[in-house]
Structure 1
Amino acid sequence: MHNIDLLLRPLSAADNPAIAGVIRDVSAEFGLTADRGYTVADPNLDHLYELYSQPDSAYWVVELDGYVVGGGGIAPLQCCTEAICELQKMYFLPVARGQGLARTLALKAMGFAREQGYQHCYLETTALLTRAIRLYEQLGFKHIDSAMGCTGHVDCEVRMLKTL
């Protein structure tokens, strides 16, 4: 097996098309597509750098041999007055899975969130993503009954919250 060169780094403007492609590819892989009844039109998907360049937000990509193969970020939970952030857009291509990258990125994101003064971290996902849910549980996220904020993730029936 050859040595792979993985790099976790902040998102740049030049990464916008690549990370949007990763998110679309992974969504399709898990059947999270419009033809299956999922709402996939995210107006920000092609402009993540601009979105995460806002204060109190950050996004990191995983680069493998010069190609973006995953990413994840943190941003304020919309329509919420409390000090709650949201772990967002955690997506990894198959080549980047099983190496602890999601855990590393989630821990980095939560560290950033603590530095920004957030007290809780919220996330939404779907029951199809069983490995992701297990990771979030291991990281201390607790399942909660109802959605928080106004994320627009109408298809995400799994909601979790962690005290930072």
Structure 2
Amino acid sequence: MSALKIREIQKEDNQQVAEVVRTVLVEMGVPKVGTAYEDQALDDMFATYQQPRMTYFVVEEKGKIIGGAGIAPLIGLEEKTCELQKMYFLPEARGKGLGAQMMDTCLKFGKANKFEQCYIETLPYMEGARKLYARSGFKSLEKPLGDTGHYNCTMWMIRDI
């Protein structure tokens, strides 16, 4: 068993985290506009998540970042709803149960920060992610919530926490 650990992002993780997110988005054929690919936050995730009620977790294996996910207030519904953000894993991280562990870590953080619901935006062809979300109790919505700016993300899900 390799030494995998989930921990909060550190400043020195910024470049690796941006590479993980962009690598997975390119692999999945995600549009580079209207998605996380073009988010300015991607190049300084550490600073982005140093705000109240938000954090970004990474999965590290032998010093290499192989995945991550963030949790933050959903813009427009900040009081009660958090958003799971930028949850991406490199191929070597998949199929090991890390998605479920990361989801659990993020939802616990959301609950501890007094959020009542968690919201996710995704894409129709990200089937593995959508299956994980459904297994984790997320239900599909008819339309988006809040104001994420990700107009190319056409699937929306939510669950109580």
Does residue 137 (structure 1) correspond to residue 129 (structure 2)? The answer is no
* Corresponding position of 1:147: 144
Matched length: 160
Q: Distance in 1 between matches of 2:50 and 2:127?
A: 30
Q: Distance in 1 between matches of 2:78 and 2:114?
A: 13
What letter corresponds to residue 8 of structure 1 in structure 2?
A: I
Deviations 1:92-142 (A, max 9, x none): 000000001011011110011001000000000001110110110011100
**Please, which runs of 5 or more residues in structure 1 have no aligned partner?**
none
Identity of aligned pairs, percent?
A: 39
- TM-score normalised according to structure 2 size: 0.95
**Please, which runs of 5 or more residues in structure 2 have no aligned partner?**
none
CA-atom RMSD, angstroms?
A: 1.2
Question: Does structure 2 retain, via aligned residues, the 8 Å contact 1:32–1:38?
Answer: no
* Corresponding position of 1:26: 24
Question: Does structure 1 retain, via aligned residues, the 8 Å contact 2:67–2:88?
Answer: yes
Does residue 119 (structure 1) correspond to residue 127 (structure 2)? The answer is no
Q: Which structure has the bigger radius of gyration? A: 1
Q: Distance in 2 between matches of 1:49 and 1:81?
A: 20
Mapping for residues 54-69 of structure 1, pairs under 5 Å? 54-69=51-66
* Corresponding position of 1:14: 12
1:105 to 84, 102, 107: 102
